């Protein structure tokens, strides 16, 4: 019985680790400056084996007020200029050499100001709600998925630490 328990534990661990490596992983180092309402992020993004295909271009979205500061000899990040600049985010493409097809880690550095004003919700409600896509300020910090403060790739599964 003890032997079966160890085998089940091993199988369960392998399944968990396999699931962990299926998506994009972000290792974030974040510096917030409340007085300047700004954020600086170092994001080591890891793409798992099998996610990248030969000749594929990676694209991601990032808050329009954030600027990507990092470049590298192994990859290049380029902003894709849309015809209509009405979005809440910028879109970037990442090109990388074919030798990096099996496993890719991209250290992105980006920074900027996030200070979306708080807007009151519908006035007809007695308890109206305030809304913002994201803010850094004296009243506090609110960063959500809609803030696009973490690069958003087309891959729906991601982990971070």
pTM for the full predicted model? 0.74
Which H helix or E strand runs over 2?
helix 2-20
Q: How far apart (Å, rounded) are the C-alpha atoms in residues 33 and 136?
A: 8
Chain mean pLDDT for the chain = 77
pLDDT at 154: 80
What average pLDDT does this structure show over 114-135? 66
pLDDT at 106: 85
pLDDT at 32: 94
Sorted by where each starts, the structural domains of the chain and their CATH numbers stand as 23-119+145-160 (2.60.40)
Tens-place pLDDT, residues 66-124: 999 876 777 888 898 877 656 678 999 888 766 655 567 888 999 999 987 666 655 55
pLDDT at 83: 72
Nearest to 154 by CA among 68, 55, 43, 61: 61
pLDDT at 19: 46
What average pLDDT does this structure show over 127-150? 80
Token readout for 64 is 């329009």
Q: Are 125 and 41 in contact (CB under 8 A)?
A: no
Instruction: Determine what percent of the chain is predicted with pLDDT higher than 70.
Output: 64
> Is the pLDDT at 17 greater than 90, yes or no?
no
């Amino acid at each position: 019985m003890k032997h079966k328990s160890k085998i089940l534990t091993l199988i369960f661990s392998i399944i968990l680790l396999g699931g962990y490596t299926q998506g994009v992983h972000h290792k974030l180092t974040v510096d917030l400056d409340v007085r300047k309402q700004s954020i600086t992020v170092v994001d080591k993004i890891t793409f798992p084996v099998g996610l990248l295909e030969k000749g594929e271009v990676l694209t991601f979205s990032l808050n329009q007020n954030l600027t990507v500061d990092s470049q590298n000899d192994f990859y290049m990040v380029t902003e894709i200029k849309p015809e209509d600049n009405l979005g809440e985010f910028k879109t970037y493409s990442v090109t990388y050499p074919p030798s990096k097809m099996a496993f890719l880690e991209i250290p992105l550095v980006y920074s900027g100001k996030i200070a979306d004003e708080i807007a009151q919700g519908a006035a007809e409600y007695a308890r109206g709600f305030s809304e913002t896509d994201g803010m850094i300020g004296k009243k506090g910090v609110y960063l959500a998925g809609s803030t696009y403060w973490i690069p958003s790739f087309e891959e729906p599964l991601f982990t971070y630490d």
